[in-house]
Structure 1
Amino acid sequence: MVGGGSSKKEVLNPKAIIHQRFGDKALYNIEEVQDSSSNDCPGLAIPRKGPCLYRCSLQLPEFSVESDIFKRKKDAMQSAAEKALEKLSDPPVEDPSDQLVARLSYLFSNEFYSLCHPLSGHFRAALQRAGSLNGFIPISVMPVYDSKLSNLCKKIKPEIESKPLEVMSIIIDAATRLSESVLISKEFISLKRTDPYPPEVLQSIENHCEQEIYVKVIRVPYLIEKVVEPLTLDVSANKYYMDAIARELGSVDASMVLLSRCIGKSSSDTRLYFHAPHSYQSDKEKYFEDGSFLNARASYLSGQDIYGDAILATIGYLWKSCDLFIEDVSPCTYYRLLMNKVPTGIYKLSREAVLAAELPPKFGTRSNWRGLSPRDILCTFCRQHRLPEPVFSLVVNKDVPEETRCDVKIFSKGQNLILHHYPQDSFKKQGDGIQNASSTILLWLKNYLTNLQVNQEDFTSYGNGTDLDFYPEHISKELNLFSFVHKKLLAINDTNHSSSVDSACSYNIEGPDSEVFAANGCLVCVSYSVFLVKEGEKEFLEKNDEFEFELGSEAVIPEFEVAVAQMSVGQSACFNVELPSQELIFAANGDPARVLSLLSSRGCYLEYSTTLLQVTEPLEDRMEKAQFSPSLSKQRVNYAVQHIRASLATFLVDFGCGSGSLLDSLLDYPTSLERIIGVDISIKALARAAKTLHSKLSNNSNNPVQSSGLKSALLLDGSITTFDSRLYNCDIGTCLEVIEHMSEDLATLFGNVVLSSFCPKILIVSTPNYEYNVILQKSTNQTQDEDEEQNSTKPCKFRNFDHKFEWTREQFQVWASDLAGKHNYSVGFSGVGGAEGVEPGFASQIAVFKRGFELPIGEDLVVAPYDVVWDWRSTNI
């Protein structure tokens, strides 16, 4: 500025402006509010402590406003003043019918045509339509591609959201007020600009007329007995793609085609196109009420009523481009959309393992869970079925205040309660409670959706009866098509396809034994491929070069787990599996025509080939190995081996033998044993044990066992709480780190059964010492400088997520002493890991029971409920 100094103009804040206009008539009222924000989860109803928050109410002579919530009082006052200024400057509310007319006028202007708007693309394409249709825009596409138009129609008549024909009628009524600029064709249910577009507009269209464009789509017949059919549409630049879709639906032109909302990801333009009734004006209500032409599959996919055959296509105009966007839709696309409506399918797709992955029945550790978390799967399921987000509420455990449990509620669109899960288990981490509660609901939903014929009174049994309430009258409104669609699909599969695979699956394992195996709880990494096979002909379906899952968590199909449990790192296996449902086969990535050709005849099956790439031990094992040398598990086995050798036992039973680590170690030493039996409830672990033991007993002539008197080895599948006479009166029984995987009641039941019915002369039982956990977890803590007293009072985690309990030394000794006194056994206590008399005792505490009586001589009672998994007899007998 020329001349002397300049004065800076003062900028008034909103509160100052309000004071200028209203003075003392502007009354501010500040109130303190509680922070009820949720802990990182939408719908989480638990208050969180924090700084004071404030809200301000501003009263003016003509109206009052309320601010947002702020940490500072003056910010709340400024917010209230700002909202008051906005309200003072707001123009009078315009009638939505007038707004709709104005919006239509703008859509047919030169200005709108020049924009890259999803609807302007339709306007340009309509100028390429031939004959009397030239320039006419089907009214059906207008509210679909212009959200402002759609919202104005809803304002005029809110209940029309799911009634496209009524929306079209409202648009026609509005267009009659633009008779000078917009031409209405009630015959074609279309609108056209009265005045021609400028020459430069028409010239730009002619420049794009030579390009040929073809897109693959899917026909979804309304008759459920017909399979979905791939088609190819000609949507070249000199044609209007809606007319091409109309012809496939048997309609004369695009004006009779209705469009669904977007399906799948909201960012995609995948939609269903279907035929509107010819008598839409006079008979529209009857048409939409008559279910005879309901397309169940299409309606299930879109969440809308769709009638007659439908076309599933990804095609349309986008915001950022004036060219037509297309993307091929295959049968794989259709079946993946169908899969994404159920919890198991959501999990499979998140893992990109349609033919390998299974939704685990429970949530374990975060480090070993792969794919979408249970909470995310549940939220996705609700979104797919147009339900509100689940409501998660954390409830403090009154007995253990540092723990919370998570209640979950699922509501219908009308806010009716569908499902309420109120688990009894509480967790130290809020996230663990949320994930475990979600996992229980997903298991319930999986059972509910799988068992379509189950009686309604049995529904609650899927949620263990006592912690889940279900209201089927509300869920039927949201999922009423699921039963019909999937029941029909399964019936078609059962009728058309059968498998030639034997019920007993065989595994062809190849490659040298690296001696690095995976036990339950290990995180394994494999590569695999899946083929559809018929009489030597193969069609590739799916592959994954690096696929991780936790062994024993049931996160893959059962045959896959059994195969991996028998393999060492570097080995490969090949096995065959019966055909799954057709939905899964088509959701994998194969040539549709080729797959259909193979499936059209009987005798097909799936062939899997897999290689075990890597094994990561569970945290418990890694933690123990880092703390102890030799590892704690090795010390437990060595302890048992020493007692077995010292006892001169000839008959051993290993209760809960797992993968056979103790039995395997016994074969490395000469002993007096003549007969050994291992029993477990895990068939996968027993298969691993059988492979290891068979290899040692049959193939190694230098093994110390060969020069000893071992005559037989037997592996049995059964529960150790059930009596089997083949285990009766053994010289020594072992049960190493097993009882903590049961409930405390079952652990006591096992103790009573083994001492009163199996009656071993000696029984060795080991279990973790809970008091030692503070040392193990401190060694892996990232913060090593915590106060000693704080560590001693802070509750410790269990060593393994699958442990149902972990006892202190006192609890274990009381349990064992009560059993010994009850059944005339003596008991002594020892352990491994740590030192005698040094706090906090041994890492693994051990009880050794010794029978104090002789068994009566009598007739043997044969009771054999266990199944034989592997039976070895010495050739030296």
Structure 2
Amino acid sequence: DKASPEMRFYFPAPDVQFVSDLSKQLVDDRGDRNMNCVINKRASYISGQTIYGDAVLANVGYTRRDTELQTDHVNLCTYYRILLRKLPDGIYKISKDSILVAELPCVYTRTSWKGPSPRDLLCSFCRLQRLSEPHFAANGVSASCNVLVGSEEMGSPKATAGNQCANDGRIAKENPDMFKCSVKIYSKKRELLLEYSTDYSWSKETDAIQNSALKVLIWFNRYFKQLNTPVEKFYLPKSTDGFTIYPNIFLQEFAMCLSVYGKTSGGDSRTCNAVGYFSMDTSYQQLESSAFLTDIDGQDSGVFPSHGSLACISYSVHLFMKDSRTRYLLEVNNEFEFEIGAGAVRNQLESCATQLSVNQSACFVDQLSDRDLSLAAADSCVLEFSVKVLQVTEPLEDRMEKALFNPPLSKQRVEFAVRHINQLHATTLVNITFILVPYLQVLACHY
């Protein structure tokens, strides 16, 4: 049995009298080296409080109930997992037990989403960053599109109707029960630092909340991967994708985070590279999205993963040193499920899975992008993936239609028929019948 872990920092207490006499800005920036009161930014970032000087991170267990209880030792992997949990996609990776393969999906579907919901992930991210709880405001558009009914959380006043229905009149008439959701992120002092709103509507309130939460998570994830982007280029007062950023408050809240992950006020963006910086430049993945497979094994069953289907695979990841031909096992997962086309895994692994049928396995080699995650610095190292497709669940027809066609085919057919009727100026039932019969015959022959 293992005891309930309690992670603690141990550090020498500074001379409070001297520290209080210093300028707070000076202490926050560099401390006082003469009094050994230098701010420990990594420890402060993890603990959420100011820690001066060196600190020891320990996992404390108790044997009051049973002397046989054990606790895990703290090592470098523990430290990196703590840092990973504070990233926008970190909790998702850990919940999937897949750090090197899983990625935060770009779309949310209730039937295929596995693990914590986007809303729970965003709330956890805000708590770990010492921000206030995110505010979600879901608005339902009535069938007549005359009233915008607000359903907000955290006791905030309801949104006014305004002219929001005007932009969605066509959608509201076709789908009378549609919902939108806006998200606001506040600092721990309740100062607004980010706001997201969208014109897109969902048929269920839960879907609106979850999709909006996912959009905010993706934005934060993109931000953490572009920490070296100049501030004047990254922060826009009002962006075209529905986000409004308040730079001063934002930078103030994430100042400690920026210093830990590599961006400092002194202009040196890599002063913490040794043990604190995550290299998350994934631009190479967009260029090298196809995997070159080797050692393909197993009979072709004819069942291949397709867009929108759920693929269940087993995989292992080894750190492969080309010079010495040495392999180190980094990660293994005997049953991992993800949706094809949702961006839920790294591109090369999805490319590998789509080239294999059920019960087939193969290997491929990928460049070492997450160098700090795997604690390797040698340029001669690569990642070797071994993948086997265990099962493929075909998507439902409506999900497949939504994934491949926008708008859905059924809606396109109806719009085509209505447009065709209007073009021929059909005014009587007889005229409409003569027009629709050939059209329906073509559809019947085609499908």
TM-score category (smaller protein): 0.7 to 0.9
Name the counterpart of 1:702. Answer: none
Q: How does 1:42-81 map to 2 (within 5 A)?
A: none
Structure 1 alignment gaps of length 5 or more: 1-266, 496-500, 587-598, 624-736, 744-766, 770-805, 821-835, 848-877
Q: What secondary structure does 1:307 align onto?
A: coil
Which one-letter code corresponds to 1:768 in the other structure?
A: L
1:359 has 2:93 as partner: no
- Residue of structure 2 in register with 1:544 after alignment: 333
Matched, 1:286 2:22: yes
- Which position in structure 1 is the counterpart of 2:405? 741
CA contact (8 A) 1:459 1:470 kept: no
Would the alpha carbon gap of residues 315 and 614 (structure 1) be closer, same or farther in structure 2, given more than 3 Å must change?
Answer: same
1:361-383 deviations in Å (ceiling 9; x for gaps): 221x2111122211111011011
Deviation for aligned residue 1:524: 0.4
1:275 aligns with 2:3: no
Match of 2:314 in 1: 527
Instruction: Specify the code of the residue in structure 2 equivalent to 1:546.
Output: E
Q: Match of 2:188, SS?
A: coil
Partner residue, 2:266: none
Greater percentage in helix: 1
Any conservation in 2 of the 1:768–1:843 contact (CA below 8 Å)?
no
Larger radius of gyration: 1
Q: Shift in Å at residue 584 of structure 1?
A: 2.3
Residue 309, structure 1, aligned to residue 54, structure 2: yes
1:333 aligns with 2:78: yes
> Aligned partners of 2:233, 2:8: CA distance in 1, in Å?
37
1-structure distance, mates of 2:96, 2:140 = 34
Q: 1:517 deviation in Å?
A: 0.7
TM-superposed CA distance for 1:358, in Å, is 0.4
- TM-score (normalizing by structure 2): 0.74
Task: Go from structure 1 to structure 2 and tell me whether the alpha carbon gap of 1:282 and 1:360 turns closer, same or farther (over 3 Å shift).
Answer: closer
Match of 2:40 among 280, 284, 295: 295
Classify 1:406/1:443 alpha carbon distance in 2 versus 1 (closer, same or farther; 3 Å).
same
Distance 1:350 1:462, change over 3 A: farther
**2:180 corresponds to which residue?**
405
Q: Are 2:236 and 2:245, in contact at CA under 8 Å, matched by a contact in 1?
A: no
Does residue 416 (structure 1) correspond to residue 195 (structure 2)? The answer is no
Map 1:92-111 to 2 at 5 A. Answer: none
RMSD of aligned C-alpha atoms? 3.8
Distance 1:510 1:819 in 2: 57
Distance change >3 Å, CA 617–CA 380, structure 1 → 2: same
The residue aligned with 2:352 is: 563
- Is the 1:447–1:462 Cα contact (8 Å) retained in structure 2? no
- Select between 285-294 and 401-410 the one with higher mean Cα deviation: 285-294
String of CA shifts for 1:725-784, please: whole Å, max 9, x gaps.
xxxxxxxxxxxx7997246xxxxxxxxxxxxxxxxxxxxxxx733xxxxxxxxxxxxxxx
Counterpart for residue 480 of structure 1: 255
Unaligned segments of structure 2, at least 5 residues: 31-37, 146-171, 263-269, 280-284, 425-435
Tell me which of 364, 368, 390 is aligned to 2:112.
368
Counterpart contact for 2:119–2:209, Cα < 8 Å: yes
Structure showing greater relative contact order (alpha-carbon pairs closer than 8 Å, 6 or more residues apart): 2
* 580 and 739 in structure 1: CA distance in 2 versus 1, 3 angstrom threshold: closer
Deviation of the 1:419 alpha carbon: 1.4
SS at match of 1:611: strand
Q: 1:817: Cα distance to partner?
A: 8.9
- Map of 1:63 onto structure 2: none
Give the TM-score taking structure 1 as reference length.
0.39
Aligned to 1:512: 299
Matched, 1:387 2:51: no
Shift of 1:510: 2.4
Q: Secondary structure at the match of 1:528?
A: strand
Say yes or no: does 1:807 pair with 2:416: no
1:630-674 deviations in whole A, cap 9, x for unaligned?
Answer: xxxxxxxxxxxxxxxxxxxxxxxxxxxxxxxxxxxxxxxxxxxxx
Distance 1:740-1:526 versus aligned 2 partners, 3 A rule: closer
Cα displacement string for residues 332-369 of structure 1 (whole angstroms, at most 9, x for unaligned residues): 11101101111111211111100110001221x21111
What is the number of residues matched between the two proteins?
A: 375
Matched to 2:298, the amino acid is G
How much does 1:841 deviate? 5.4
Deviation digits for residues 611-630 of structure 1 (CA, Å, limit 9, x no counterpart)? 0000000011799xxxxxxx
Asked if the contact 1:570–1:611 (Cα under 8 Å) also holds between the matched residues in 2, the reply is yes
Q: Residue in 2 aligned with 1:573?
A: 362
Provide closer, same or farther for how the CA distance between residues 324 and 576 of structure 1 changes in structure 2, counting only shifts above 3 A.
closer
Give the partner amino acid of 1:271.
Answer: R
The one-letter amino acid paired with 1:378 is L
Within 2, Cα distance between the matches of 1:475 and 1:457? 13
Q: Report the Cα distance in structure 2 between the residues aligned to 1:452 and 1:622, rounded to whole angstroms.
A: 36
What's the offset of the Cα at 1:286?
3.2
8 A contact 1:460–1:468 mirrored in 2 = no
The separation in 1 between residues aligned to 2:243 and 2:94, in whole angstroms, is: 28
Deviation at 1:454, TM superposition (A): 2.8
